[in-house]
Structure 1
Amino acid sequence: MRINKQKRWLMGLLLVHSTLFSSSAFASSDWFVSQDLYTMAHKELLEDNTAAVFQTIIQAWQQSPNSVQANNLDQLLNLAISEDCGHSLERKVLPVWLPKLSIERQVEQNLNQQLLKISVVGLTRSDITNISLTKWPNKPLLQGAPSIDDGGFFSVKTKRLNEPVSAGLYKLSITAENKPAWVDWIVLTTPADKQEISWKDSKTWRISNIEKNNGNCPSPTLNIKLYDLNDTTWHSIWSQESDSDWPTTLPKLNVPEGRYWLSVGMVKTRWQGEISILDIQRITRPVDYIGDDD
């Protein structure tokens, strides 16, 4: 469902008033006459030219915006995504040898520490030799050859980051044997400023303030996985996903009694053209499972 014109005008004008006019650099009342990138992006948004808005946002990020401008770009992107959850942001098509691609930004909270990471995952029909992700202008986040299984699914991820993956512009490059390098710009929005899922006790958790229906985007998905602590391959022995009626406790399972690793994740999905962008909050902990335990 598209945002109607009147509502888009009101949102755009409110955004301009609350952000652009808060800076003296944009104090002129005839801002629509200006030709700067921020004016262009607002005008393109009001004209429903979502792909053009996205390209202008990329150019504006390349000019190293200040904090006020960066906040404005973040809000502009969120408005553009509301059109169709980001499908129309970019017309660039994935190559035949790379039919599926996702960027996954994850915050994992276990009992002792918080783990921050970002991953590039997807499906390939070629031997990918290198994937790199760099924050503009020159901050490398991820680089390496992915692991590819027999079905062509691949992933490469950072081990651990010292700070959250912030809003901004990122350059993604993927190289495969006998293929030209595939390069694209990725724009990420600001991550959630607080943990929305947390433990109550060893087998139950709480979920706070997450909207199940987020406009044109799919409802967030809760995925639960149980791992055998003795299995170094880390393949789950049980899993469950739900996009409604999210459970908040581990159900009774047909698994041997023992000590396991429990992972509960909340996944929010949007798109940048054909690329899916996932924001994941995950909590993990060891759990003693007893079959007749209430």
Structure 2
Amino acid sequence: MKKALLPVLMLSSLINTAHAADWFKNNDALTQVHKHLLNNDLPQMFDSLVEVWQINASEYREEHLNTLFAQALNKDCGKTLTKKTLPDWISSVVIKRMMIQSPGRDTFRVEINVESSNNIKNITFEKWVDKVVSSDSEFSKDDQGGNGSSDHRYYKRYNLSTQLNPGLYRLSVKTDARDSWSTWVILGKVVTRQQVRWASKDTWLIDKKELLNPYCPLPKLDVGLFDYVDEKYDKVWGKSYESDYPKSLANEDLPNDRYVLAVSMVQSRWQGDISVEQVQTISKTYDISSEEELK
């Protein structure tokens, strides 16, 4: 029986090899993605992947593209995905995909943070082809420079009805002086490697869902208290942790009041010089009174 099985296995192997050889004789963009990935040529792989995304892909192909993109991130977390650099008037770009879970409601956002020495007029983020991700958006400027520099921080926030889909996007930045810069951005499927959840009224736990990418920064835990003033949430206290994550608030000298407690798990990767963050936030009201002190 084993002797009869061996020729069948050999024939199957030959057929598969022949199909693979025929497949690699193709010279379409998807074949180029595979070839560049196998050769560790990530910039060329990224350019070919952009070209494939520009084709109306089927659901099967989209799943395949997401798998290829995830494999590319396993090389160096996206640091060498593209050789394109930021212009000299932009010092930092951060793209945040955000999910905020509050009691009885989940909200979704995408936020673009740009630090620049020039006056930014607008930031746009569109899904291919020419589709603004949401008509509910807000553009703002923070007069405080980042990292001690004289640059200003600019924010473009899009409020979404659902999680932002994977795919090809176009990021554009324009200044008052008519300088402009744009780039392609590829977003893969949301991968929750670590997730934060409430364990009790004022404590939380971090569930480890998948192994971390060793080439990416460690997930960061942000904890903050917000006060609702003039129809706006102002942060009154906050800390970030890159290890030894706490499970509750430490003793802090804060006025007695009702706050919103927000705990965020931030997982980061790169696309060349651009930082892409996946942010999961849980929030709830939190009362501080003379009878109830922070643990």
Please tell me the TM-score bracket, short chain as reference. 0.7 to 0.9
- For residues 177 and 261 of structure 2, what CA distance do their matches in structure 1 show? 41
Contact 2:194 2:209 in 1 (8 A): no
Q: 1:52 to 1:131 in 2, by over 3 A?
A: same
Counterpart-to-counterpart distance in 2, 1:146 and 1:108: 20
- The yes-or-no answer on 1:38 pairing with 2:7 is no
Give the letter for the 2:25 counterpart: V
SS of 2:245 mapped into structure 1: coil
Counterpart of 1:243?
A: 242
Q: Give the counterpart of 1:91 among 83, 94, 103.
A: 83
1:155 alignment partner AA: Y
Question: What's the offset of the Cα at 1:261?
Answer: 1.0
> What SS does structure 2 have at the residue aligned with 1:53?
helix
User: Would the aligned equivalents of 1:131 and 1:146 in 2 still touch at CA under 8 Å?
Assistant: no
Whose radius of gyration is greater, 1 or 2?
A: 2
| 179-188 vs 250-259, greater mean Cα deviation | 250-259
Alignment-derived partner of residue 7 in structure 1: none
Which segments of 5 or more consecutive residues in structure 1 lack a partner in the other structure? 1-20, 22-26
Do the aligned partners of residues 130 and 178 (structure 1) sit closer, same or farther apart at CA in structure 2, a change above 3 Å counting? same
1:146 aligns with 2:145: no
CA gap 1:162/1:110 in 2 versus in 1, 3 angstroms:
same
**Alignment equivalent of 1:127, drawn from 106, 116, 119:** 119
From 54, 64, 72, the equivalent of 1:62 is 54
Residues 106-121 of structure 1 correspond to what in structure 2 (within 5 A)?
A: 106-121=98-113
Higher mean Cα deviation, 227-236 or 97-106? 227-236
Match in the other structure for 1:229: 228
Q: Counterpart of 1:47?
A: 39
CA distance in 2, matches of 1:180, 1:292: 52
Q: Answer whether contact 1:58 1:187 (CA < 8 A) is retained.
A: yes
1:79 corresponds in structure 2 to 71
CA RMSD of aligned residues (A): 2.2
SS state at 1:83 partner: helix
Please give the secondary structure, in 2, of the residue aligned with 1:280.
strand
Q: Aligned equivalents of 1:280 and 1:188: distance in 2? A: 14
Q: Which moved more, 1:78-87 or 1:97-106?
A: 78-87
Judged with a 3 Å threshold, the aligned counterparts in structure 2 of structure 1 residues 69 and 293 are, in CA distance, closer, same or farther, namely: closer
Residue identity over aligned pairs, in percent, reads 29
Unmatched runs of 5 consecutive residues or more in structure 2: 1-15, 146-151
The answer for the alignment partner of 1:285 in structure 2 is 284
Shift of 1:170: 0.3
Structure with more strand by fraction: 2
Deviation at 1:232, TM superposition (A): 5.3
Name whichever of 30-39 and 43-52 sits farther off: 30-39
Contact 2:265 2:281 (8 Å CA) reproduced: yes
Moved beyond 6 Å, runs of 4+: none
Tell me whether 140-149 or 111-120 shows the greater mean CA deviation: 140-149
Q: Which residue of 1 aligns with 2:149?
A: none
Compared with structure 1, are the counterparts of its residues 169 and 293 closer, same or farther at alpha carbon in structure 2 (3 Å cutoff)? closer
- Aligned-residue offset at 1:28: 6.2
Aligned residue type for 1:190: K
Q: Residue type matched to 2:215 in 1? A: N
Counterparts in 2 of 1:146 and 1:230: CA distance versus 1, 3 Å? closer
Distance 1:148 1:229, change over 3 A: closer
8 Å CA contact 1:223, 1:264 repeated in 2: yes
Q: Is the 8 A contact 2:77 2:216 kept in 1?
A: yes
The separation in 2 between residues aligned to 1:242 and 1:193, in whole angstroms, is 18
Distance 1:104 1:44, change over 3 A: same
Equivalent pairs, count: 268
TM-score between both structures, scaled by the size of structure 1: 0.84
- The SS at the match of 1:237 is strand
CA distance in 2, matches of 1:252, 1:72: 49
Asked if 2 retains the 8 angstrom alpha-carbon contact of 1:260 and 1:287, the reply is yes
Distance 1:93 1:231 in 2: 40
Q: Retained in 2: the 8 A contact 1:130–1:146?
A: no
* Residue pairs, 1:114-263, within 5 angstroms: 114-141=106-133, 145-151=139-145, 152-158=152-158, 160-192=159-191, 196-210=195-209, 213-230=212-229, 234-263=233-262
Secondary structure of 2:75's counterpart equals coil
TM-score normalised over the length of structure 2: 0.84
Q: Is the 8 A contact 1:129 1:145 kept in 2?
A: no
Q: Tell whether the 8 Å contact from 1:130 to 1:144 is kept in structure 2 after alignment.
A: no
How do residues 260-271 of structure 1 correspond to structure 2 at under 5 angstroms?
260-271=259-270
